[in-house]
């Protein structure tokens, strides 16, 4: 029987040191730090590309490095990737919410992030080898669009990008393909926000980049519940076919993680958990999920890929791509 009572927190375990990074850890004056992309570097250390909101309200990205991914963070002394509105007008009001994917074929990290300007939020892409210099490709998905990550390898000869365009009919997850990371087409809807009272009604979006498993692309996504006192951001999980990522194999009905801890419930934007990155432990099963908490800090939760897949086996439905 489907378990609709899944207690929050059983699949994702909050780290006792949470929140692991706050504005107090920053070497220069900022308002807040949250929604970080994550990756392992060659030496096994963890890099977070954090969204930093300055005291004008505009965001840039700043790298923090740690040997164990939990503490001892070394934060870049100055912003790492700053909006460059002269050359990239789509970055006029800042850059936000990076997702990082290491692409073996390119021997580089591909960073996708939200660039924000008069036109609204769009998706921008940059390549880097070291998170010190970046090759910017500019905006690759025009506004309104965000919550984007590249798959780490080509699918049938094309790069594949998951993203979340917004339309008056809803904000759903799409996939698009490209031969060169510049030109994008073959756009397909892959996962719909549900409707009505559902926790993920009207607006969903990719959270960290999809995790490649032997069973498919394990994909954490956020759902936004609109309430009279504001929005509630929670996390759900779906599985997509490895060679045809347009095909949703399974989607859970319940959310698996939501704001409960004080640092998630209180902050600049209350009741938000917003992961943008994960790293995999050497055991090949434990993932470290880095998430923004209440748009005010960065927190860490751990999960087991095997447990997430088992939970989907018990609770997911294969016909849930579309809104019931």
Which residues lie near ligand BMA (CB under 6 A)? 35, 96-97, 233, 269, 272, 274, 292, 295
Least Å distance, CB 96 to ligand BMA, is 5
| d(C-alpha 42, C-alpha 45), whole Å | 7
We find the least distance from the C-beta atom of residue 222 to ligand BMA, in angstroms, to be 8
Give 126 or 273: the residue with its C-beta nearer to ligand BMA. 273
- Cβ neighbors of 255 (< 8 A, separation 6 or more) are 8, 199, 200, 223, 234, 235, 236
For residue 5, the tally of other CB atoms under 10 A from its CB is: 6
Shortest reach from residue 315's CB to ligand BMA, in Å:
26
Question: Which position's Cβ is nearest ligand BMA?
Answer: 269
Q: What is the DSSP letter of 209?
A: P
DSSP state of 196: T
Q: Is the peptide bond before 144 cis (omega within 30 degrees of 0)?
A: yes
- Which CB, 189 or 231, lies closer to ligand BMA? 231
Q: Which is nearer to ligand BMA, 210 or 292 (CB)?
A: 292
**Residue 48 and residue 69: Cα distance in Å, rounded?**
9
Angstrom distances, CA of residue 47 to CA of 13, 72, 201, 278: 21, 12, 33, 10
Q: In this complex, which beta carbon is closest to ligand BMA, that of residue 182 or of residue 226?
A: 226
Q: How far is the CB of 242 from ligand BMA (least distance, A)?
A: 29
The secondary structure of 106-172 as a DSSP string is: TTEEEEEEEEEETTEEEEEEEEESSSSSEEEEEEEEPSSEEEEEE-SS-BTTBEEEEEEEEETTEE-
* Euclidean distance between CA atoms 240 and 226, whole angstroms: 27
Residues 6+ apart with CB under 8 A from 180: 159
Give the residue with the Cβ less far from ligand BMA, 76 or 97. 97
SS3 (DSSP) at 258: coil
- Residue with smaller CB distance to ligand BMA, 165 or 292: 292
What is the nearest approach in angstroms of ligand BMA to the Cβ of residue 234? 12
Nearest approach, Cβ of residue 61 and ligand BMA (Å): 12
Q: How far is the CB of 274 from ligand BMA (least distance, A)?
A: 4
Quote the least distance from Cβ 146 to ligand BMA, whole Å.
Answer: 7
- Round to whole Å and give the CA distance between 315 and 3: 6
Which residue, 300 or 309, is less far from ligand BMA as judged by CB? 300
Nearer to ligand BMA, 44 or 230 (CB): 230
Give the nearest distance from C-beta 4 to ligand BMA in angstroms.
26
> Is the CB of 274 or the CB of 311 nearer to ligand BMA?
274
CB-based contacts of 292, cutoff 8 Å, min separation 6: 34, 35, 36, 51, 272, 273, 274, 275, 276, 298, 299
DSSP tag of 121: E
């Amino acid at each position: 029987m489907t378990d609709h009572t899944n207690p929050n927190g059983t699949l994702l375990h909050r780290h006792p040191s949470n929140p692991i990074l706050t504005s107090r850890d920053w070497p220069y004056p900022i308002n807040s730090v949250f929604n970080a992309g994550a990756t392992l570097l060659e030496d096994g250390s963890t890099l977070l590309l954090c969204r930093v909101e300055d005291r004008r309200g505009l965001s840039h990205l700043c790298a923090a490095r740690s040997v164990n991914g939990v503490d001892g963070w070394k934060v870049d002394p100055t912003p790492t990737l700053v909006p460059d509105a002269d050359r990239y007008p789509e970055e006029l009001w800042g850059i936000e919410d990076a997702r990082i994917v290491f692409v073996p074929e390119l021997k580089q990290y591909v960073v996708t992030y939200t660039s924000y300007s008069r036109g609204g939020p769009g998706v921008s892409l940059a390549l880097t080898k070291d998170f010190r210099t970046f090759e910017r490709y500019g905006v690759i998905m025009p506004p309104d669009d965000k919550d984007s990550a590249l798959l780490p390898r080509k699918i049938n000869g094309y790069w594949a990008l998951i993203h979340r365009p917004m339309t008056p009919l809803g904000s759903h997850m799409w996939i698009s393909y490209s031969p060169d990371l510049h030109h994008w087409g073959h756009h397909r809807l892959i996962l719909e926000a549900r409707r009505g009272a559902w926790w993920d009604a009207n607006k969903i979006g990719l959270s960290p980049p999809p995790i490649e498993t032997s069973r498919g692309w394990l994909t954490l996504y956020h759902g936004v519940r609109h309430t009279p006192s504001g929005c509630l951001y929670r996390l759900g999980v779906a599985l997509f076919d490895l060679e045809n990522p347009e095909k949703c194999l399974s989607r859970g009905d319940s959310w698996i993680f939501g704001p409960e801890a004080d640092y998630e419930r209180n902050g600049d934007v209350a009741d938000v958990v917003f992961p943008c990155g994960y790293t995999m432990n050497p055991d090949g099963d434990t993932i470290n999920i880095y998430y923004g908490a209440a748009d005010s800090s960065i927190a860490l939760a751990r999960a087991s890929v095997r447990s997430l897949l088992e939970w989907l086996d018990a609770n997911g439905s294969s016909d849930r791509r579309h809104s019931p």
